[in-house]
Amino acid sequence: MSKILYEGKSKIIYEGPDEKSVVMYYKDTATAFDGKKKEELTGKGKLNSEISGIIYNYLTQNGIETHLIKILDDNSELVKRVEVIMVESIVRNVAAGSFSRKYGVPEGTALKNPTTEFSLKDDALGDPMINNSQITALGIATAEELDFMTEQSLKINKLLCDLLEKAGIRLVDYKLEFGRYEGRVILCDEISPDSCRFWDIKTNEKLDKDRFRRDLGNVLGGYENVLGRIKDVK
Ligand code: 5GP
């Protein structure tokens, strides 16, 4: 195995075959509440890797530039070596999670338009929400980069809603990350049940990491369900 460049809560980044790429390995570790809750779920890495691979290939086919170069094996992808922009871009279609708590909106309330927000990528601070002027004031990203990230996040929302609706899945909300690569801002990290809320479109059954966060049981059953449904959707 090559040298570890970075190890996060759910992924390991290894040195790649050249300085323009790295290998992203999906671990089986499940974490929530900024790492305070942690468990090994054998097979989670492979499921997330496959789900994210399908979604990234679909986004690429639809004109979104991503970091994915190629899927290497069950748990690993060769990806472009980006300079990660240290904010998360969160899009919501339905109220849930921190949005419901913060604004007193019952979980499951459909939103009249998708919402966008940024939060600081900082576990120790609990990933606090941060606005554009605060991000630019701290020199984390430029206003142009933030506008591009928001525009891409909303484009991705349309594409994902289309794909998932065909699979009988409601895209409640999700988190994206972006990085700088050869002067451009491109999508990086993963899109999986670890980073999205996926609900069954008919029953509202949760098929994502909320099963782990809220001790609902059968966490990987939810992830397998998502994979089974999106595999054959075109
Ligand atoms: P909330 O703000 O309700 O906690 O999260 C909104 C959405 O973004 C959820 O789909 C959640 O899974 C995702 N999300 C927010 N922060 C993080 C994070 O730090 N890591 C991951 N993997 N997903 C996140």
Ligand 1 neighbours, Cβ below 6 Å, are 88, 90, 96-99, 127, 173-175, 194-197, 209
Best of 173, 196, 198 for a ligand 1 pocket test (most atoms within 8 Å of beta carbon): 173
- Whether the per-residue pLDDT at 1 is higher than 80: the answer is no
CA 119 to ligand 1: nearest atom: 16
pLDDT tens readout for residues 63-118: 999 999 999 999 999 999 999 999 999 999 999 999 999 999 999 999 999 999 99
Query: Distance between CA 99 and CA 111 in Å, rounded?
Result: 11
pLDDT of residue 234: 65
pLDDT for residue 21:
98
pLDDT at 127 over 80: yes
Ligand 1 nearest atom to the CA of residue 174, by list position: 10
Distance (angstroms) between ligand 1 centre and the Cα of 173 equals 8
Closest CA to 90 of 208, 176, 165, 157: 176
Atom number of ligand 1 nearest to Cα 121:
19
Which atom of ligand 1 is the closest one to the Cα of 99? 3
What average pLDDT does the structure give for the chain?
Answer: 97
Residue for token digits 């990086």? 188
3 state SS of 97 = helix
Query: Which whole-number Å values give the CA distances from 171 to 124, 126, 167, 216, in the listed order?
Result: 28, 24, 11, 19
At 201, the pLDDT band (50, 70, 90 cuts) reads very high
Report which protein residue has its CA nearest ligand 1's atom 20: 195
d(CA 171, CA 199): 7
Global pTM exceeds 0.95: yes
Ligand 1 atom closest to the Cα of residue 101 is 3
Q: Does the pLDDT at position 17 exceed 80?
A: yes
Q: What pLDDT, in 10s, does the model give residues 140-166?
A: 999 999 999 999 999 999 999 999 999
Give the model's pLDDT for residue 35. 85
Whole-angstrom Cα distance, residue 227 to residue 48?
Answer: 9
Choose the residue to mutate in 38, 177, 195, 197 for probing ligand 1, maximizing ligand atoms within 8 Å of C-beta. 195
